[in-house]
Amino acid sequence: MFVRALVFLALTAGSWAAGTFPKPDPERRFPELKVPSRLGDPWRAATEDWTGGRRRTREDPVWTDWLRREREEVGRWMVRHRDRVEWLPGWSHDGVSPKDGSRVTWTDAIPHEETEFFASPSDPRIEITPKLHAWWVVTFRARHVETMVRAAQLFQLTGDEAYLDWAAGQMDFYAANFDQWEPQRPGHPARLFWQTLTEATNLIKFTEVVRLLGKTVAADRRETWRRDFLEPEVKALNSTQQQVHNIALWQRCAVAQVALVLGDEALWRGAIDGPWGVRRQVAEGVTSDYLWYEQSLGYNAYVAQALHSLGLAAGLAGRADELSHELAVAQNLLVAPLTLRFPDGRLPNPADSRVAGRAPDVELFARLYRVFPTTLGLEEAGRMRDWNTLLDPPSPPPRPVSLPEVTPVHLESSRMAMLRSGSWQVFIHYGQIARSHSQREALNYSASIGEAAVTHDPGTVGYGSPLHRGYYTRGLAHNVPLIDGEGQEGHDRGELLEFAPARVRAAQPRYRPGVRAERELAIEAATLRDTVTVECAAGPRRLGLAFHLQGRTRLPEGFWPEADFGRGRPEEFAQWSEVRGGRFRDRVEFEAEVEGGAVLRVTMAVSGEFRIWRGSSPDAPPRRRESFYLELVEKADRAAFTTTLAPAAAR
């Protein structure tokens, strides 16, 4: 095989151990939700019962109706759609409105043939540019490959060779034309898709088609698929992402699944045990808190899905035991965010995910039950009708669902902490482990009082939007200090100075060159007190603080319309609208009615004269929110900003 040279990779597998996060006994973590197998493992080896599936779709009216609808949907796609070599792929993140960064709604209407405009929920008429056309193509192609999997499943279930002929014909098309798609970016070998991540996630689907069609396809035809498609894809994926990263993990998981379907042991060993194989990705990429090191909580789910796909394929191949530790860790990735949920179910949103996630994500737990069984997932999967529940019916949960309790915690290896006392819950992200997916947000915090969200991280928009780098990743978009209008420079682990259930103090000694920043958050009875201290070693600077609220405020006297808020400031300041400004000394107070109806008395204080502006700023699009920027009138080399928030009735 072309990958025999990968055998040597296993020999170097021990050289990276110094960079791992300790994760002893992952099987014992989060027992509230886990459903152990008969052997005591928290994960399970998936099964595939085609005989039982045929019986269910024949004898159970609900399943009979499901099969009818599945055949109709797949049949319509088979008749209507063909991929085209001339269609060049784009980036999935480019499907955003130029007006506000909201996500464009994908439909299967072919651009410039069946429709002349796209739309988003807040932008009904979007011009189809070449970039957006390429975004449409990459979404189409992913759905086309997914339909190939469904057609192969229908062939296995029904024996109808029309599905076999169509799915195999599509494999012929991609194998015959693979080299005609040129990589869209220098140094990035993806062909069918714009990036190797999408190439990997879809290679898993192609591999599943080959597995499902099996020996019903002639050996020479399968050999063509191997030689002209699967092996070139593997070569491309193995040539990139020589690092610990979510993309690298997906690539290694995809290559491992190709190895299983081809029966290539050397390829399997390289993907699992090689220098950048699955074991190293899990050892170095998952923190001791069972959070993915790139810090976006959305990547917890994404990485868990990658490892679920590998565990599923390995289980069906009888090799899941070889991944026992990695699967136990991956299941914890799925569960760990539950311990950080706010009372309204919203998750904190550090790094550059889009809209904040919700917990529990019942649908996600249900989709992953075949490898990661939980009471929550099994309960929801029992109500679902899809290929998973048809072929591997979920057992009833052995006990009622009980979610892990949210308690105050310092997540040292993840550079985060959670406070909880009385009605307040506060999350702080005080440092970063790596540059990947980091924003200028060190020391940012989110808070809720009861069920009411007080302030949160809005996340970002699609990476293809100018607002991603031009606003959402910048300091002004977060509750952080600004120096000459700028937030953090680079990324840094930061330092935790003190931690208690109702109090945390953390610092960024290198917040910017020559600038040290420190934040203390303290829940004192019914009041949340936030103190931010900035010290500049190189002399006086313009010092300020950004603060965002999920609600509406009642300003005191002394504010007036401000037309030039963004003049002379970094580009992100131009994204605020309806700005009003005022000039005060030492302190300013106002009331805010936050989401959920809670009314807070807000006091912002700093010694000396300062200016403060309130404006409408971008929240998770298309929403906006009220935001404040406070800045000292005179330059200074040190400032201490104190913000207190208390229920209005308590003042």
Within this chain, do residues 215 and 360 fall inside the same structural domain, yes or no? no
Secondary structure percentages of the chain, helix, strand, coil, to 5:
40, 25, 35
Tokens read off for 365: 């737990």
CA distances from 390 to 51, 54, 60, 67, 146 (A): 10, 9, 11, 10, 17
Tokens read off for 245: 């990263």
Within this chain, do residues 13 and 104 fall inside the same structural domain, yes or no? no
Tokens read off for 445: 């915090």
Reported as a single tens digit per residue, the pLDDT across 587-618 is 999 999 998 889 999 999 999 999 999 999 99
Q: Is residue 6 pLDDT above 50, yes or no? A: no
Pick from 562, 560, 559: nearest CA to 579: 562
Within this chain, do residues 531 and 448 fall inside the same structural domain, yes or no? yes
Distance CA 430, CA 416 (A): 6
pLDDT computed for residue 438 by the predictor: 84
Reported as a single tens digit per residue, the pLDDT across 38-89 is 889 999 999 999 999 999 999 999 999 999 999 999 999 999 999 999 999 9
The alpha carbon of 520 is separated from its chain's Cα centroid by a whole number of angstroms, namely 28
Tokens read off for 396: 């009833």
Distance CA 546, CA 640 (A): 13
Contacts for 267 with CB less than 8 Å, ≥ 6 apart: 1, 3, 6, 234, 255, 256, 258, 259
Domain count of the chain? 3
**Segments forming the whole domain that contains residue 215:** 81-240
Average pLDDT over residues 327-352: 95
Within this chain, do residues 234 and 283 fall inside the same structural domain, yes or no? no
Distance CA 50, CA 172 (A): 26
Q: Is residue 3 pLDDT above 60, yes or no? A: no
Return the sign of the alpha-carbon dihedral for residues 412, 417, 418, 424: positive
Cis peptide before 373 (omega within 30 of 0): no
Phi-psi sector, 422: left (phi>0), alpha (psi -120 to 50), beta: left
Reported as a single tens digit per residue, the pLDDT across 497-555 is 999 999 999 999 999 999 999 999 999 999 999 999 999 998 999 999 999 999 999 99
Return the sign of the alpha-carbon dihedral for residues 353, 27, 272, 378: negative
Average pLDDT over residues 27-39: 93
pLDDT computed for residue 569 by the predictor: 95
The answer to whether residue 643 sits within a structural domain is: yes
Average pLDDT over residues 244-257: 97
Q: Are 392 and 370 spatial neighbours (Cβ–Cβ below 8 Å)?
A: yes
Domain's final residue, options 362, 388, 406: 406
Within this chain, do residues 315 and 413 fall inside the same structural domain, yes or no? no
pTM above 0.95, yes or no: no
Q: pLDDT: is 4 or 94 the higher one?
A: 94
Amino acid type, 422:
G
Reported as a single tens digit per residue, the pLDDT across 377-421 is 999 999 999 999 999 999 999 999 999 999 999 999 999 999 999
Tokens read off for 553: 């405020």
Distance CA 571, CA 589 (A): 29
Return the sign of the alpha-carbon dihedral for residues 542, 547, 553, 554: negative
Task: Compute the residue count for the chain.
Answer: 651
CA distances from 162 to 71, 149, 234 (A): 11, 14, 29
Q: pLDDT: is 526 or 20 the higher one?
A: 526
Distance CA 136, CA 118 (A): 10
The answer to whether residue 585 sits within a structural domain is: yes
Within this chain, do residues 401 and 415 fall inside the same structural domain, yes or no? no
Distance CA 205, CA 174 (A): 13
Q: How many CB atoms lie within 10 A of CB 282?
A: 25
Domain's final residue, options 390, 406, 422: 406
The answer to whether residue 552 sits within a structural domain is: yes
Domain's final residue, options 383, 406, 429: 406
Distance CA 437, CA 420 (A): 27
β-bridge mates for residue 554, sequence order: 591
Task: Report which secondary-structure segment, H or E, holds 645.
Answer: strand 638-647
The answer to whether residue 261 sits within a structural domain is: no
Contacts for 316 with CB less than 8 Å, ≥ 6 apart: 46, 47, 48
Amino acid type, 57:
T
Q: Is residue 273 pLDDT above 50, yes or no? A: yes
Q: Is residue 113 pLDDT above 70, yes or no? A: yes
First to last CA, the chain: 75
Contacts for 638 with CB less than 8 Å, ≥ 6 apart: 533, 534, 535, 536
Q: Is residue 130 pLDDT above 70, yes or no? A: yes
CA distances from 398 to 40, 294, 328, 336, 395 (A): 14, 35, 20, 21, 8
Q: Where are the beta strands (DSSP E) in 374-451?
A: 409-411, 416-421, 424-429, 444-449
User: Which domain CATH number covers 504?
Assistant: 2.70.98.70
Q: Is residue 568 pLDDT above 80, yes or no? A: yes
DSSP string for residues in 296-351: -HHHHHHHHHHHHHHHHHHHHTT-GGGGHHHHHHHHHHHHGGGGG--TTSBPP--T
Within this chain, do residues 113 and 45 fall inside the same structural domain, yes or no? no
Within this chain, do residues 114 and 202 fall inside the same structural domain, yes or no? yes
Tokens read off for 62: 């609900």
pLDDT computed for residue 19 by the predictor: 67
The answer to whether residue 262 sits within a structural domain is: no
Reported as a single tens digit per residue, the pLDDT across 445-484 is 999 999 999 999 998 988 888 898 999 999 999 999 999 9
Within this chain, do residues 236 and 163 fall inside the same structural domain, yes or no? yes
The answer to whether residue 463 sits within a structural domain is: yes
- Kindly indicate the confidence band of residue 577, based on its pLDDT and cuts at 50, 70 and 90: very high
β-bridge mates for residue 334, sequence order: none
Pick from 178, 195, 184: nearest CA to 92: 195
Strand, coil or helix: what is 605? strand
Within this chain, do residues 532 and 473 fall inside the same structural domain, yes or no? yes
Q: Which residues of 111-125 are buried (b: 16+ CB within 10 A; e: fewer)?
A: beeeeeebebeebee
Within this chain, do residues 326 and 474 fall inside the same structural domain, yes or no? no
Strand, coil or helix: what is 77? helix
Within this chain, do residues 560 and 429 fall inside the same structural domain, yes or no? yes
Q: Is residue 5 pLDDT above 60, yes or no? A: no
The answer to whether residue 258 sits within a structural domain is: no
Q: What is the mean pLDDT of the chain?
A: 94
Q: Is residue 20 pLDDT above 70, yes or no? A: yes
The answer to whether residue 68 sits within a structural domain is: no
